[in-house]
Amino acid sequence: MKFTTLSIARKLKFYQLIVYAQVLENGSILRAAQALNLTQPSVTKVIHELEAYFGAPLLVRGNRGVTATPLGERILQRSKSFIADLRLLTDEVNAFLEGSSGHVIVGTLISASAWLLPRAAQLLKQKAPKVLLSLRVGQMDQLFPALADGELDLVVGRVPDDWNFRNESPLLKVEPLYREALCVVAGARHPMHKKKRVKFADLHDYPWVLPTRDSFLRRTADALFAEAGLPVPDNVVESLSILTNITLMQDQRTIALMPREAIRNFAEAGLLSEFDLGGLLPFGDIGCFHSATREPTPAALMLRECLRAASREHVRDFDDSKPAQGTSAQA
């Protein structure tokens, strides 16, 4: 059977593509049914209809769930673009008929999720309470392809040093929001806080929490130890979980390297205290990434403006030239 644009337009439904994409995203027909609030037989029927129409299997069923066949993978990639455009159309119609509404999906990692995004979300809800905001936390190597495919509207996080040379850069644009620094931090009663000024060598033998090895932040951490002429500590827990890191540091011995914004609220609450190492530790620009080829939804445009406003607050209220509140320099 030879397909034509008209024959596919007559037979194929957006609904079927959405169901199919959900099955592959969840890796399971059952979980897709739960996510879509459908019965499992209903989802199975849609998959059978698609496979019957294309005359070929689209899914491979295995012990670890379902994956796409080569044909199914091609259909999935095109479906992501259709679904993204459909979501844009939905938001524009809702915004026209009801005022400020819609749905914006944002990918992020810890450098932006601790303070910047919550503050931007507050500003967004003040401006447009009907907008649904969904946050997805992950690594940039996962988030950038999802943004390029239209699964995400925005990604907020550190701008990679090699950004202009990355595969995704022609498909995405980035708006730098502010420059972030790193800090070396521990529980507020760590014994080394008694010293007004410390060096990396003074802290090296304590337990450390460092970012996972697949993260941009870990490469920065390794470089800082190398510049100090030190190996990476032996006693290490690898974690990007803010709550896990803070809990570990409450033993008053464990030390962590984290973005200053990520520890802001906890330093102000007296749970953490930053070491004065005699200067700022570079981290890089925090930016907002968006598609270079797809028009943003009205909700995404509103959130971008709220991110700018929150960034201006950050620069005004959190002076990077001084240690965070509760640091040893103030103790």
Report pLDDT digits (tens) over 280-326.
Answer: 787 888 999 999 988 888 889 999 999 999 999 877 765 544 444 43
Tell me the residue length of the chain.
331
CA-CA distance, 147 to 126, in Å (whole number)? 26
pLDDT at 329: 31
Whether residues 101 and 151 fall in one domain:
yes
Whether residues 193 and 274 fall in one domain:
yes
Q: Final residue of a domain: which of 45, 79, 113?
A: 79
Q: Which two tokens stand for residue 281?
A: 């530790």
Distances in Å between the Cα of 29 and the Cα atoms of 13, 18, 23, 60, 67 are 19, 13, 5, 12, 11
Q: Final residue of a domain: which of 61, 79, 97?
A: 79
Phi first, then psi: give them for residue 173, nearest 5 degrees: -120, 155
Can you give the CATH number for the domain in which 266 is found? 3.40.190.290
Whether residues 62 and 93 fall in one domain:
no
Whether residues 242 and 296 fall in one domain:
no
Whether residues 290 and 156 fall in one domain:
yes
Q: Final residue of a domain: which of 240, 263, 283?
A: 283
**175-218: pLDDT as tens digits:** 999 888 888 999 999 999 998 889 889 999 999 999 888 877 88
Residue 68: partners with Cβ closer than 8 Å, 6 or more residues away? 24, 58, 59, 60, 75, 76
CA-CA distance, 169 to 298, in Å (whole number)? 23
Whether residues 166 and 309 fall in one domain:
yes
**2-16: pLDDT as tens digits:** 888 888 888 888 899
Name the domain count of the chain.
Answer: 3
Whether residues 191 and 272 fall in one domain:
yes
Q: Taking residues 122-130, what's their average pLDDT? A: 91
The whole-chain average pLDDT of the chain stands at 86
State the residue range of the domain holding 37.
5-79
Whether residues 153 and 210 fall in one domain:
no
